[in-house]
Structure 1
């Protein structure tokens, strides 16, 4: 009997020491959500593709990555000078994506009288109204809302409200337009371009921007809003969107529709603020209003920083002497 008890006890102890079966790992829900948006549609040709190739690649990349809906902010005044542009915009909306107003000719509000600026918005609205996928959002070119000119800022805000347009703000920005132009310039100059390094710089800059601005928002308003990422219709987007979306998801981000993002209360919260200068991301302006210390913007939005990274990593050139 004693031997039986000892044997039974040994079995119990062995069972307790055996680890439980491994459970299937599931992604952690970090609560981080972000919508992707693309400005300056239709853009001219970039460094690597024709505009038609670029549009096909962007649509395919979004479909393959499971990013079901993004928004393209359109400058209709550029359509006539870019053959096939209207057809390419229609291809975006046929694929289920959205279009919105980015002004007709892309003026900066700081350099434009308010009445002329609103007239330019109206010209874009004539082309956009009634088209498939249209949303009544307006995004300021250059994210310029009048800077320190509060009278002009308020006049345009009132004009947008009277037209039923809401602010197509952004909360995260990685200056992808600069990377695109630097790539075009390098190609035109005959400089070898390390595409793998360019991909890595593009992807990590966007993920870094999303995380930086999310941290800024959490400190400013105490929560993570549904973010809106500013991007542009570029060859780099066409090439690297699958890598970027995978990296965002790996970092805990969920890609959502701009419809979800623009329903976030952050827009109503921000409308109550009176920042010293209206220019840039909404996150930055809120942080400024709340008195958060600098830095209130992502370091790679400084083109000197981005230029040094591009030169060293993509072109494999030594630092410039200043």
Structure 2
């Protein structure tokens, strides 16, 4: 009974302390949110250095506001961050839980202070994917060229990094260093890395990606790479390249070639695509019928005519399915 009483007392004490800490953090966040808004409005507010019990509330208010602002406004707020001593006050938080580390790293990134680069770079190899990605984004805000040189080679190595988060960091890069580093990395990448990197390059710099895609398609590369490159093609000047893959031995290459020709081809390519309606693989026939439907000069009526003269039963069936799906979408 004595032990149970002691444990109950400890639990009550911890609960009360946690509630007190939460109230303190909420009050600090409200106070600093008001100060930040005044600073953003152009008022130079007199502030004192952050106290230990204010750090969490300030960081929460700071991050919440900075995430909604354009880069120029964030840089304007940075002077207040320096005046309150955010970089110095955050040292304890960087040794805390992964949540504290992540929030603090994000906050330091918004300072846009190159002197913080080496300190933040230590977290790029953190075993937590959240912390390491937060560090990568913060570094990209602090010193973009240097950050991309370190970040891009790690993309292929870190299987635990969420592609969407990586894409966001790359998309936020405005000085072109991300595209430059990816292009360099592609020169020495293996098949798996190439697939991953070329997709990211297409998202942030389509023109540069188009050049890389052409080089890959013209070279002797893995069929998986060819499939990915065919998915990324949007330029009609690559039409002849795409046509060359319609008769590839691997079905997934034929499938993606048919889909690509539907995007960039001309009315005269319908004959080439019609031949694939008799392909032995269902997915090839399906993507081919879809490609014929969107080909310039085609449409539902023209595809119905193809169906009427096609001699292969599987080809006629797949056209019927695609036309039915098209009619259903049109009626919604």
Q: TM-score, normalised by structure 1?
A: 0.23
Q: Which structure has greater helix proportion?
A: 2
Q: TM-score, normalised by structure 2?
A: 0.22
Q: Whose RCO is larger (CA < 8 A, sep 6+)?
A: 1
